[in-house]
Amino acid sequence: MLTLSPSLLPSLAAACLYAAATLYQALRLKQGAKADKRLLCLLGTLAVIAHATGLYSQLIRPIGLGLDFFSAASMIAVAIIVVTMIACARIPVENLLVLVFPLGFLTVLLAQFAPSGTVQLIEEQPGILSHILLSIMAYGMFTIAVFQALLLLVQDHRLKHKHPSGLIKNFPPLQTMESLLFGFLWAGWILLSLSLISGWLFVENLFAQHLVHKTLLACLAWLVFSVLLWGRNRLGWRGHKAIRWTLGGFCLLMLAFFGSKLVREFILHI
């Protein structure tokens, strides 16, 4: 008798809901109209519930937390979508959903169907789990900041060339978009700082052979974002300079987590 994985049906349901929400919002934006925020959030909430249900089955193992490459990406995607939808209730960032919903669609399917590498089992100690949670929240917040930076770049380019599309017409003013970007960056920087502090406190040896690259790259990313926020506060950095620094710091941060994880699980098998 064929036995289905307990995560299969919720993962497929989440993928369908993400796809439906993305298609609906993309069509509305193409028409130059705003999507119904309540409908988007309803579809997104149902998708996140299904996504989290499937992810729980994939993560929880008898002897610890099984956090492989694709399930980690899926977990971060859930955090990104939840934070974005919460933000939508207070600030005009619903256009970000057209970018984060496809991210959820992609990661939930990869976590379900892509072959996993060497699974890293993590003991469920409160200190370690708090470090993981803070790291995921920091990665999620900086991912939202990068999406916001990319939308800001598109908006700035279209406005300078006087070709506002249906998508751009639904954006908040450029100054508001930029303020939102730095709000996300500040939140991400605080979370990353707390993540690094919790790592120093609870991880036995942050400079062990399998952690040294991750630690150094994360510290470099923290430094890049610190310089960016200082430059914004003291020198008034904005526009393309702010976007370049944001993308640079994000690349370092993603290399710190996903780069080292990819090498360990699929190349070195450790």
| pTM of full prediction above 0.75 | yes
pLDDT digits (tens, 9 = 90+) for 117-136: 555 656 657 777 788 888 88
State pLDDT tens for residues 83-110.
Answer: 899 888 888 888 889 889 999 999 999 9
What pLDDT band is residue 258 in, cutting at 50, 70 and 90?
confident
Radius of gyration of the chain (CA): 19
Residue-wise pLDDT for 42-89, tens only, equals: 999 999 999 999 998 887 766 666 677 788 889 889 999 998 998 888
